Amino acid sequence: MGTSVGAMNTALLKDSKFRIHKFHGLRPDHYSTTLTRFLHVLPPSNSSSSAIKAVSAPVKPDTSSEAKRSKVEIFKEHSNFIRYPLNEELLTEAPNINEAATQLIKFHGSYQQTNRDERGTKSYQFMLRTKNPCGKVPNKLYLAMDDLADEFGIGTLRLTTRQTFQLHGVVKKDLKTVMSTIIRNMGSTLGACGDLNRNVLAPAAPFTRKDYVFAQETADNIAALLSPQSGFYYDMWVDGEKVMSAEPPEVTKARNDNSHGTNFPDSPEPIYGTQFLPRKFKVAVTVPMDNSVDILTNDIGVVVISDADGEPQGFNLYVGGGMGRTHRVDTTFPRLGEPLGYVPKEDILYAVKAIVVTQRDNGRRDERRYSRMKYLINSWGIEKFKSVVEQYYGRKFEPSREIPEWEFKSYLGWHDQGDGGLFCGLHVDSGRIGGKMKKTLREVIEKYNLEVRLTPNQNIILCDIRRAWKRPITTALAQAGLLLPKYVDPLNITAMACPALPLCPLAITEAERGIPDILKRVGLKYNESVVVRITGCPNGCARPYMAELGLVGDGPNSYQIWLGGTPNQSSLARTFMNKVKIHDLEKVLEPLFYCWKRKRQSKESFGDFTNRLGFEKLQQTVDTWDGIVEAPSRFNLKLFTDKETFEAMDDLAKLQNKNAHQLAMEVVRNYVAAQQNGKGE
């Protein structure tokens, strides 16, 4: 697998149109320009927050002219470690905050938004995103988030593709109340957005197996290592009171270690300095085979390597993954992470820190679309990147260990944890928890005092369930539409969509609101599955470039179609068609899926089929498609005993873009599910 990933990225590197030749990073010894970092005198402030008077980094020699910097870099430099002018903007009567504060509040875990469905005066609101390493949500925090959604949000909770909550609709005057409530209930939003390390992913399944436990512990430690230290978050939302648990001593030791020049001495931010990172940074940790975290889409992928007795010994590292791109700008592209090497388990924090520092000092800060680490690696090549990282790490990486092929794990349904308890994975369409589902989940989680895990596929896991509780919990959940996986359409189980319209300012078209209808129009049988992912813009939040069928918004009611990802999320899809209008989707999807059904090899996935057949033949199939020749219609005597019943069902089905047989089967399945509640899978 590693070889194929490297080969794919090498091919991109050799293509001149993908090569980014110039970087404006922080290190003058690599480039002719430098970003000089020093303390700036802050403008007068009415805020009670005290200024941090510390140098963020040694002053570097000036070399002729100052490097070009993006506007966000200047905002960060003048912010007093992500405080100013946000602290002042939050005190004004205006419903919104200014441009600089809008960028800074991202570091606190929030985005300013407006409802784009509304015309006239803009109704400003804020989306808050939590930070939950491994997707862990304490019982107390879940109940608090549920309350906050009703009291200050839009009445729903959104599960994200990075194992966090999103809370929409919070107005400016309520921000401090909501933030402080999250903090005081064992939660945080610090670093959920912004130019720093985001939420660290790990398999959500609460298995007690050694490698799973170790992966989750490692994710927690990496999250702690890369968490901001200057106190701006707690100053802003809880008046400087730090509400946090003590971190492991090995994390503190690794952060403070400066034996290889990784740190800014005497800075409140020893790893980040005043400028933090050039862009967002994403890390995931997993065990061999378990690709529930889309491991190769992250800046750093960390894979636990165990010995024959199951004892963790170290980690394989992958670097340079990332999804974001810009339409029709070929120098931007999604990229898979590639192998960097192996490190023993006691070195993992130092290795991760070395990688982060390499990106910090060398990633582009002039043009944000090229600021992710994938572009640095694509420009340098993996060998040069490894060499620089090793200087910060202080030793050579060992060769990567062999691991088996990846598998996608959903963890839906009932499973043994390994400690006598059970966990239950529940599918949530597009991660949106609302209505009766929200009310029932709250009742079950509160009644049984359950801990919760969020998955990278926008689903939820209820943990630590006693066996005696299985039947009543199953019954309650089914009545709210939270069914066992065998009663959920396989298309829905693997599908993902970003929120997009109406609240995301970057959305070009629909995603979450459009995916239910699009999945119905795909036209597969109930027992067939294809990984479908939809985003409203090319930034790739739902990772559509890993899907077998990716739909990426590229205009109003229009999508770019990507094909060729695989069910285990180990290869990139490619652009198949541009600007396909939503009402023309059948003209493309119907011939593609009909061809797959007729010509696929035994158990061949749709993604593998499209790669084998090739895009040229697939395009010919679409261009020459005349439709399926249907046999004369007849009544399905197994379901309908009379013409009147058939016609009534057919009329109802048309309202849902289905045929009578599909709707009847759905009714039958739901009835069977209701009758079998509590009887297990």
Res 669 pLDDT > 80 = no
CA 383 to chain centre: 28
Q: For residues 120-129, give the mean pLDDT.
A: 96
Q: For residues 448-473, give the mean pLDDT.
A: 98
The pLDDT of residue 463 is 98
Candidates 551, 597, 546; CA nearest to 570 is: 546
- Dihedral sign for Cα 350, 356, 359, 365, please: negative
Whose tokens are 């009847």? That residue is: 664
The pLDDT of residue 18 is 40
* 8 A C-beta contact, residue 209 and residue 215: no
The pLDDT of residue 676 is 65
Enumerate the β-bridge partners of residue 454: 460
Res 277 pLDDT > 50 = yes
- pLDDT band (50, 70, 90) for residue 26: low
**Helix intervals (H) in 109-209:** 139-151, 175-184
The pLDDT of residue 422 is 98
For residues 249 and 317, give the distance between their C-alpha atoms in angstroms, rounded to a whole number.
Answer: 23
Count other Cβ atoms within 10 Å, centred on residue 330.
10
Res 614 pLDDT > 50 = yes
Residue 563's Cβ-side half-sphere holds a number of Cα atoms within 13 Å equal to 22
Candidates 47, 68, 43; CA nearest to 366 is: 68
Average pLDDT value over all residues in the chain: 89
The pLDDT of residue 677 is 62
For residues 444 and 453, give the distance between their C-alpha atoms in angstroms, rounded to a whole number.
Answer: 14
* 8 A C-beta contact, residue 321 and residue 374: yes
* 8 A C-beta contact, residue 164 and residue 199: yes
Res 51 pLDDT > 60 = no
Q: Are strands 496-497 and 532-535 parallel, antiparallel or unpaired?
A: parallel
Percent of the chain beyond pLDDT 90? 79
The pLDDT of residue 631 is 57
Q: For residues 475-483, give the mean pLDDT.
A: 95
- pLDDT band (50, 70, 90) for residue 641: low
The pLDDT of residue 632 is 56
Give residue-wise pLDDT tens across range 373-415: 999 999 999 999 999 999 999 999 999 999 999 999 999 999 9
The pLDDT of residue 37 is 32
Specify whether the backbone of 117 is left (phi greater than 0), alpha (psi in -120 to 50) or beta.
alpha
- pLDDT band (50, 70, 90) for residue 639: low
The pLDDT of residue 326 is 97
- pLDDT band (50, 70, 90) for residue 20: very low
**Helix intervals (H) in 363-494:** 373-380, 382-393, 435-447, 470-479, 490-494
Q: By three-state DSSP, how is residue 312 classified?
A: strand
Which of 52-56, 68-72, 673-677 is least confident? 52-56
The pLDDT of residue 630 is 63
549 phi and psi angles, rounded to 5 deg? -135, 110
Res 36 pLDDT > 70 = no
- Exposed e or buried b for every residue in 331-347, given b needs 16+ CB within 10 A? ebbbbbbbbbbbbebeb
Which of 448-462, 509-523, 573-587 is least confident? 509-523
Candidates 280, 277, 134, 282; CA nearest to 213 is: 134
Res 50 pLDDT > 70 = no
Q: For residues 99-124, give the mean pLDDT.
A: 96
Q: For residues 89-110, give the mean pLDDT.
A: 98
The DSSP-derived string for 19-79 is -------S-TTTSS------PPPPPP--SSSPPP----SPPPPP-SSPPP--HHHHHHHTS
611 phi and psi angles, rounded to 5 deg? -70, -40
Q: For residues 524-536, give the mean pLDDT.
A: 89
E strands in 521-636: 532-535, 549-555, 558-563, 574-581
The pLDDT of residue 593 is 95
Give residue-wise pLDDT tens across range 324-363: 999 999 999 999 999 999 999 999 999 999 999 999 999 9
Residues 6+ positions from 278 with CB-CB distance below 8 Å: 25, 195, 359, 360, 363, 364, 365, 368, 371, 372
Q: Burial-class residue 53 by CB neighbours within 10 Å (0-12, 13-18, 19+).
A: exposed
The pLDDT of residue 571 is 97
Amino acid identity at 379: S
The pLDDT of residue 653 is 76
The pLDDT of residue 457 is 98
- Dihedral sign for Cα 87, 93, 95, 100, please: negative
Count other Cβ atoms within 10 Å, centred on residue 190.
24
- pLDDT band (50, 70, 90) for residue 152: very high
